[in-house]
Amino acid sequence: MTILSLDPVSNQTPAALHAFLEQCQVEAHRAHRAQLVSISLEVDSLDPLAVLASIFESDQRHFYVERPAENLAIAGAETVLEFTAEGPERFDECQAFIDNVLANAIIVGDQGVPFAGPHFFTAFTFFDAVSSAELFAPATVFVPRWQVATKADRTVAVANFMIAEDTEIAVVGEKVWRAHSKFSGFSYAEKVFAPKTSAPRITMRELNTGQHYRDAVQQATARIAAREFDKIVLARAKDLVADETMSPLRALHGLRQRFPDCFAFSVANDRGQSFIGASPERLVRGYGGMLTTEALAGSTRRGETEAEDSELGEALLRSDKDLREHRLVLDSIIRRLTPLALQLDFADQPKLRKLANVQHLHTAIKTALPVGVRLLDVIARLHPTPAVGGVPREAALDGIRMIEDFPRGLYAGAIGWVDSRGNGEFFVGLRSALIDGPNARLYAGAGIVAGSKPEQELAETELKFQAMEAGLFSP
């Protein structure tokens, strides 16, 4: 990886850009292989979601995530490079792809600006193998052609492109210059997501009815009593059909407004489908040699009044069933990370994490990352966590395959990014929906342990469905 001190701001002319690209082509000729070239430029404040909406094409990959409470948002669109993998080695194979690309990359611009440089946007499905009919590969990594991100009131635009020995430099230079001009003078206002006069009409088809889910919970608790596993997370899916084509980015705008403490996200393939949601659960975050993860398990609703909300939260903190479920998740994370020789730091007792419609038991976990341990190494150990799979993992996953009657795809998958310095963040694909034209498939699940009651678990999934429906289909 070559990082150049060239300042894009002081070299903002077509002639300077053309000369730089010619230098990159000389390097490609010397190396006898194409080079990834990434140019970062700090720009005036932009809304990355509005930028993505302005260049949105349904047949192009895109990635978006925003956490309004942290003033963080990042968007990437179109594809310069991509890689797919499947099977138990998919994380290692994706890391090898990233390493290979970076070994032949030329990076320009101030790398001290948040989100500067090329980013590798990734999505891992829940299971490491899926049928050929599913819409997302078990592992996908792509480098976008255009990337815009904001963090801590700073905005950076990134252009990524490949330069080979036979690349037409003038064509590439024109594309980059047009993009630079657009980002420099971009005006979007709120009209990009202006409210509609009415919500779309929706028809619903449940893939598994309430009674089906009650029966599934009873089956799971019987298998827990038989000691097949200690915990299993069972999900439901609901198909909704609107009377108009749904815009995944408009729906995402509603989710980011409704759930500012969550990861509002959209991952699109290149066939017209988008997987979107507002996930409350961080899987891992790695920056500057430090790693953060969390145990998030055990749930109850929010109260109608402050007093009721507090009472529900206190009851959750005392709930034997929820505390056992939470401890199973925490113990599994500790056990799975032990081979990496990490020194984990966490509190003895969980705290409450209050979201717009639900509150969870939450334990934050922090550690330093030893030299040689990368983010994808950690994710390979953790995913899927007991918060979305079960304990023991393999027995619970077998149980999910047998009991659930729909493919999970990216639901409860690991979604996030890695940058050129090995930093990155991943979250779990929860509170989510698959958007395909006028169709939306919503997902919601609940953790089942000894003592779980079918009616209560059904109510928890209904609560999660309602939150997604309100975010997706509001005017």
Q: Give the bridge partners for 292, in sequence order.
A: 285, 366
- What is the pLDDT confidence band of residue 8, given thresholds at 50, 70 and 90? low
The token pair that represents 157 in the structure block: 């635009």
Q: Alpha-carbon distance 163 to 106, whole Å? A: 10
Last residue of a domain, one of 161, 193, 225: 193
Return the amino acid letter for 265: F
| pLDDT tens, residue by residue, 403-417 | 998 999 999 999 999
**Count of domains in the chain?**
2
- What is the pLDDT confidence band of residue 56, given thresholds at 50, 70 and 90? confident
**Angle between helix 48-55 and helix 248-258 axes, rounded to 10 deg:** 170
Task: Give pLDDT, residue 216.
Answer: 95
pTM: 0.92
| pLDDT tens, residue by residue, 114-166 | 899 999 999 999 999 998 889 999 999 999 999 999 998 899 999 999 998 88
User: Do 137 and 225 fall into the same domain?
Assistant: no
**Of 51 and 138, more confident:** 138
208 pLDDT more than 80: no
User: Do 247 and 289 fall into the same domain?
Assistant: yes
User: Do 323 and 271 fall into the same domain?
Assistant: yes
| Mean pLDDT, rounded, for 245-253 | 88
Q: Alpha-carbon distance 220 to 207, whole Å? A: 19
- What is the pLDDT confidence band of residue 207, given thresholds at 50, 70 and 90? low
User: Do 404 and 440 fall into the same domain?
Assistant: yes
Least confident of 111-120, 188-197, 448-457: 188-197
Long-range contacts of 178-186 (CB under 8 A, 24+ apart): 179/146, 180/12, 180/41, 183/41, 183/43, 183/46, 183/51, 183/148, 183/157, 184/43, 184/44, 186/46, 186/51, 186/54
- What is the pLDDT confidence band of residue 58, given thresholds at 50, 70 and 90? confident
User: Do 18 and 56 fall into the same domain?
Assistant: yes
- What is the pLDDT confidence band of residue 347, given thresholds at 50, 70 and 90? very high
DSSP secondary structure of 293-311: EEEEEEEEEPPSSHHHHHH
Which one of 70, 89, 190, 281 is the catalytic residue? 281
193 pLDDT more than 80: no
Task: Give pLDDT, residue 11.
Answer: 58
Last residue of a domain, one of 193, 218, 244: 193
User: Do 148 and 219 fall into the same domain?
Assistant: no
Specify burial of residue 1 (Cβ count, 10 A radius: 0-12, 13-18, 19+): middle
User: Do 314 and 373 fall into the same domain?
Assistant: yes
User: Do 217 and 293 fall into the same domain?
Assistant: yes
Domain extent, residue 48, equals 2-193
User: Do 145 and 226 fall into the same domain?
Assistant: no
| pLDDT tens, residue by residue, 294-340 | 999 999 999 999 999 999 999 999 999 999 999 999 999 999 999 99
| Mean pLDDT, rounded, for 448-471 | 90
Last residue of a domain, one of 165, 193, 221: 193
User: Do 343 and 223 fall into the same domain?
Assistant: yes
265, 74 Cβ separation under 8 angstroms = no
Which one of 231, 238, 404, 464 is the catalytic residue? 231
Q: Give yes or no: 281 in active site.
A: yes
User: Do 235 and 181 fall into the same domain?
Assistant: no
441 pLDDT more than 60: yes
Task: Give pLDDT, residue 9.
Answer: 56
| Mean pLDDT, rounded, for 211-236 | 95
Q: Which of 15-24, 93-102, 192-201 has the highest mean pLDDT?
A: 93-102
Contacts of 82 by beta carbon, 8 Å cutoff, 6+ apart: 61, 140, 141, 142, 143
- What is the pLDDT confidence band of residue 183, given thresholds at 50, 70 and 90? low
Ramachandran sector of residue 166 (left: φ over 0; alpha: ψ -120 to 50; beta: rest):
alpha
Least confident of 5-19, 236-250, 304-318, 368-382: 5-19
The token pair that represents 465 in the structure block: 């469905």
**Of 14 and 29, more confident:** 29
Q: Give yes or no: 182 in active site.
A: no
Contacts of 188 by beta carbon, 8 Å cutoff, 6+ apart: 46, 47, 50, 51, 53, 54
User: Do 361 and 340 fall into the same domain?
Assistant: yes
Nearest to 18 by CA among 159, 173, 158, 162: 173
| Mean pLDDT, rounded, for 444-458 | 94
Distances (CA, A) of 379 to 10, 282, 327, 340, 464: 40, 11, 20, 12, 25
Residue 156 dihedral angles phi and psi, to the nearest 5°: -130, 135
189 pLDDT more than 80: no
15 pLDDT more than 50: yes
Task: Give pLDDT, residue 321.
Answer: 92
10 pLDDT more than 90: no
Task: Give pLDDT, residue 178.
Answer: 73
Task: Give pLDDT, residue 13.
Answer: 74
Long-range contacts of 4-13 (CB under 8 A, 24+ apart): 4/106, 4/107, 4/108, 6/108, 6/109, 7/109, 7/110, 8/39, 8/40, 8/41, 8/108, 8/109, 9/41, 9/42, 12/180
Q: Alpha-carbon distance 135 to 465, whole Å? A: 22
DSSP state, 196? P
Q: State the residue for tokens 């827990």.
A: 224
DSSP secondary structure of 440-469: EEEEEEEEEETT--HHHHHHHHHHHHHHHH
**Of 222 and 31, more confident:** 222
The mean of the pLDDT values for the chain is 89
| pLDDT tens, residue by residue, 99-127 | 999 998 999 888 888 899 999 999 999 99
Q: Alpha-carbon distance 212 to 222, whole Å? A: 15
CATH (domain of 392): 3.60.120.10
